[in-house]
Amino acid sequence: MADDDTRHESPSQTAGPYVHIGCLPNWSGIAGVYAEDPGSRLINADTRGERVSVTGRIFDGDEAPVLDAVIELWQADAGGLYPSPVETRGVADPNFGGWGRVASAFDSGEFRIDTIRPGRVPYPDGRLQAPHINCWIVARGINVGLQTRIYFADESDANAEDPVLASIEPRARVDTLLAQPDAEGAFRFDIHLQGERETVFFDI
């Protein structure tokens, strides 16, 4: 294929306010087309690992909660293995799909992720990354899906060694990627699209 068009990625466009129709139809009230919404269950009773929940909201530049976002999640299993064909270090937990999709509630903007604490996976040079969940955020007003990561504030040793966190300047912004322990197994992670507490977003 020498087609010139193949040199460019298709340009991104906003997911718009009605992204739920295509991505979470049952959640948006469209019943009977898909048996269940894609990504609505990350774990089952047999998934190995420590159960954790992460709840939070996304805030805009006026500190108003975003009520129409969808967040996609991708993470390793408890042993640090991805359920993916490119995973060459072992076989991931068959009861863990690694991928999830949650929406901000239409009324409060709150999202909730029920998953397991991921294991550590290597950086390209072999150093270990700290446990993290990759996030991809789409919504009305977001022209290109935003990539960020959820790290866990109670993993201070691993976080101190993490090459991605190490590349963040100024250092105070590292905190924007740390989910804070709330109750047993429960974490809080708010995302700020703009402003003084703007979350670190990646071009990765």
Partner 1 sequence: MSSEQSRGYLPRDRAWHPPALAPDYKSSRLRSPRQPLLVLPTTLSEESGPVFGHDIIGPRDDDLIHNYAADGHSALGPRILVHGHLRDQSGRAVPNALIEVWQANAAGRYRHPNETYIAPLDPNFGGCGRCLTDADGYYRFLSIQPAPYPWPNGPNSWRPAHIHFSLFGEAFAQRLITQMYFEGDPLIPLCPIVNAIPREDAVDTLIARLDMDAALPMDMLAWRFDLTLRGRAQTYFENRPEGL
Give the one entry of partner 1, Fe ion, none that residue 194 binds, where binding means its C-beta sits below a cut-off of 5 to 8 angstroms depending on kind.
partner 1
How far is 124 from 37, CA to CA, in rounded Å?
A: 33
- Which of 52, 54, 66, 150 forms a contact with partner 1 (CB under 8 A)? 66
Half-sphere exposure of 59 (CA within 13 A, CB side): 16
Minimum distance, C-beta of residue 184 to partner 1, in the bound complex (Å): 27
Does 44 interact with partner 1 (rule: CB under 8 A)? no
β strands within 20-98, DSSP E: 51-56, 58-59, 70-75
Q: Considering only residues 91, 108, 112, 194, which one is a binding residue for partner 1 as defined by CB under 8 A? A: 194
Task: Tell me how far, at minimum, the Cβ of 180 lies from Fe ion, in Å.
Answer: 36
Angle at 110 between CA 105 and CA 112, to 5 degrees: 100
Binding partner 1 (rule: CB under 8 A), the pick from 40, 53, 55, 60 is 60
Q: Does 158 bind partner 1 (CB under 8 A)?
A: no
Binding segment for Fe ion (CB under 5 A), chosen from 13-21, 42-50, 62-70, 158-166, is: 13-21
From candidates 8, 44, 172, 184, binder to partner 1 by CB under 8 A = 8
Largest CA-CA distance found in the chain, in angstroms, rounded? 56
Residue of the chain from 114, 181, 182, 198 that contacts partner 1 (CB under 8 A)? 198
- Give the residue carrying structure tokens 């072999």: 126
* Residues in contact with 128: Cβ distance below 8 Å, sequence separation at least 6, in sequence order: 120, 121, 122, 158, 161
